[in-house]
Structure 1
Amino acid sequence: MSVNPTGKDPGSEDLVFGKNAVKAVLDSLPEHCSVVLVSEKMATNEREQFLETCKRAGVRWQLVHPSRIDRICPGGRHQGIIAKMLPVALTDLESFLKGLDPVWGPSLIVLVDHLQDPQNLGAIARSAEVFGADGMIVPRRRSVLPTSTVMRTSSGAIARVPVVGVVNVVRALEEFKGNGFWVVGLDHSKGK
C-alpha cells in the first residue's frame, strides 16, 4: 500500500529536471512520469538516448524549444530536460517489513527525523544507496518528504531506495526492534 506523502491533489504534477534525475525517474519510476520535455538544443546523441529510454519505458516525450524549458524551470539548471511526474508515494511500514527478505542477510534501514532541508534528504538518500540501504524511514509530519528537489540532489537515489512514511518514529523503531533489527542512533547535538 502506498500513500500520498505531499497531501497534493493526486492529479498534480511535480517537476524533475537535470539529466541524472530524469534518467533515474525513467529507470525506476516510469509509471509516475507523465511526459518528458527534451530541448531541441540538447546534443544529438544525448537527446536520442533520452528519447529511446522514453520509448522503452512507455513514457510520452516532446521535443521543445529551449525557451519553453527555461520558462518552466528558470535558472538554467535543467540541462535541457524536464520530467513531469506525479509525486512519489511513500510505502507503509507493514508492507515494507513484509517485503524484506532475510535470505539476503541483514538489512540496513536509514531513519531520518525532523529533517527540514530537501537537499540534506537528497544527500542522505545518495549515501543510503551507496551503502546498500534497503530503505529510508521518514516521518509524515514535521519533516521533508520526497520532492523534485530531493530527486535532483539525490541524483535519483530517492527513486531507487524505498521510502517509508511513518506517523510515529518511536513506534516505528519498536516495530523494527520487534522484527530483529538493531537500532543505532546518531545525534548532531554536541555534548548531550
Structure 2
Amino acid sequence: MTTLSRTDILANLTATPRCFGMQEESSSSSEREKFQTVLMCIHLAYGLAYTVGSALGSIPPSTDLCLTAFTAPNKPSEGDETDPTPNTNRKKKKKQPVPSGWWGTPSGPVAVINEKALTLFWKITNTVTWRNLHWLPHSILVYEIRVQEGYGMRWSQDQSEGAGTGVEMPPWIFRGFVEPMMENGHEFGWRHAP
C-alpha cells in the first residue's frame, strides 16, 4: 500500500471519486464538507487566524517547542568560542530599531544579547493576539505569532520529506522576528522607516 503525504490526503478529501457505472453513497458529498468543517474547527480551536494560506489540519507547535527552537545553538564559526542562539543572530539583523524602541538594541556579550532576546520571546508569547499556521512553497509549514502592534516571531518545519509517512517530522526551526505588515512591503524591501 502506498503511504500518502498529508497534502495528498487533504487533496483526496476534496476530490469526488468518479468511475463509469459506479456511484458513491448519496451523502458522500455532504460528508466531505463536514470533514472540511472539522478541520476548520480544529484550526480555530487552537486560536489560529484563518487566512488564504492557513494550514488546515495541521497542529501548531507548543510554546515549549517554540522555546526549544528559539534557544537552540547555532553552529559557531571556526575559531569562535561563543555559542550564539538563532535569536541572537536574528536580533543583530535589526540594524535600525523602530522609533518606539520595541525591539531594543542588541549590545554586549552574547549571553546578555541572548537574555534580552529571551525576554522578547516571553513578551511576545505572553501577550500574543495573532497566531497563524500557514504553508510556504515546497511544503514548509510556518507558525507565526504576533502581538497587537504587529511585532512577532516565526518558526518553520520542513515537511517536504516524510510527511504523513510515519517518519518523525523534522524539528521546528526559529526563522526570526517579524515586524508589522506594511503596505507595498515588497517595493520597500520590507524596511520600515526609522
The reply to whether TM is greater than 0.5 is: no
Larger radius of gyration: 2
Give the number of the structure with larger relative contact order, counting CA–CA contacts within 8 Å between residues 6 or more apart: 1
The structure whose residues are more often helix, as a share, is: 1
Q: Which interval holds the TM-score relative to the shorter structure?
A: under 0.3
Structure 1-normalised TM-score?
0.28
